[in-house]
Amino acid sequence: MANLFCSSIGKKLIMSISGLFLILFLLFHMSMNVVALISESGYNAICEFLGANWYALAATMVLAAGAVFHMVYAFVLFFNNRKARGSDAYAVTARPKHVEWASQNMLVLGITIGAFLILHLYHFWAKMQLVELQHMMGMHVSEEAMALATDGVHWIRHTFTSPINTILYVIALVAIWFHLTHGFWSALQTLGWNNLKWIKRWQTVSNVVATIICLGFAAVVVVYYIVSIM
């Protein structure tokens, strides 16, 4: 077990597995958000279901752990690889040319996404699940804050009436797209699908998955902003 956390191969495996786990979460989160475009009451029902219940809290802790592992090992691998062979921390074999930029800037993209994550948590998690947690722990929470804690549509509207927030989210989604297009197939390569035939296939799948995720999120951001200015 110690070798898994300390060896180069072990670190790459942890990065790959945690990354794939986070991609699954993004697919789920995107699917949930798109519901807001179809049925606002349905979206709020999902938000209420995924409030401060034990299963939602357990999932949140697992997700947080996965994100922390992914980010910590990204820095560890970057500096280890930079020390060993220069600044290209994500060098892999048979790298497709059109993801060259993404592969060379994965850490920068990751830092950008991490900064965006803090903003996103402030806009939504801090106003929703955190408020419910504070109430459960006996802390003072206003009736208005509690009423809005499961009103996800309210917070979407509140966030995306701002053109600055809208632009920041779109920029972040572009960074996520680049990060996913390289990270997905690179993770699969680490797990064993590393011949030329499969790399090309997984690269295509990576582009499709990244595009679906980012377009789904972007649709919610842009539609709600457009509605707010009409």
Per DSSP, helices labelled H in 86-136 are 100-104, 106-123, 129-136
Full-model pTM: 0.85
Q: How far apart are CA 213 and CA 216, in angstroms?
A: 5
Of the candidates 159, 175, 152, the one whose C-alpha atom is nearest the C-alpha of residue 228 is: 159
Structural tokens at position 77: 């691998």
> What is the per-residue pLDDT for 92?
46
User: Do residues 50 and 149 make contact, with C-beta atoms less than 8 angstroms apart?
Assistant: no
Structural tokens at position 224: 């709600």
Q: Which domain holds residue 208?
A: 2-229
User: For 22-34, what is each residue's pLDDT tens digit?
Assistant: 999 999 999 999 9
| Three-state SS letters, 172-216 | HHHHHHHHHHHHHHHHHHHCCCCCHHHHHHHHHHHHHHHHHHHHH
Return all residues near 153 (Cβ < 8 A) that are at least 6 apart.
36, 40, 43, 44
Cα end-to-end span (Å), the chain: 57
DSSP assignment string, 41-69? HHHHHHHHHTSS-HHHHHHHHHHHHHHHH
Average pLDDT over residues 145-150: 93
pLDDT at 90 over 70: no
179 vs 78 pLDDT, higher one: 179
CATH number, domain of 75, equals 1.20.1300.10
Count the Cβ atoms, other than its own, within 10 Å of residue 171. Answer: 12
Q: How confident is the model at residue 53 (pLDDT cuts 50, 70, 90)?
A: confident
How many domains, in total, are found in the chain?
A: 1
* Angle in degrees, 0-180, between the axes of helices 8-38 and 40-49, rounded to the nearest 10: 140
DSSP assignment letter at 71? H
Q: How far apart are CA 93 and CA 88, in angstroms?
A: 13
DSSP assignment letter at 86? S
Average pLDDT over residues 67-95: 68
Q: Which long-range contacts (CB under 8 A, 24 or more apart) does 158-163 make?
A: 159/123, 159/124, 160/221, 160/224, 160/225, 160/228, 161/225, 161/228, 163/225
Return all residues near 103 (Cβ < 8 A) that are at least 6 apart.
88, 90, 91, 92, 95, 182, 186
Average pLDDT over residues 162-191: 92
pLDDT at 2 over 70: no
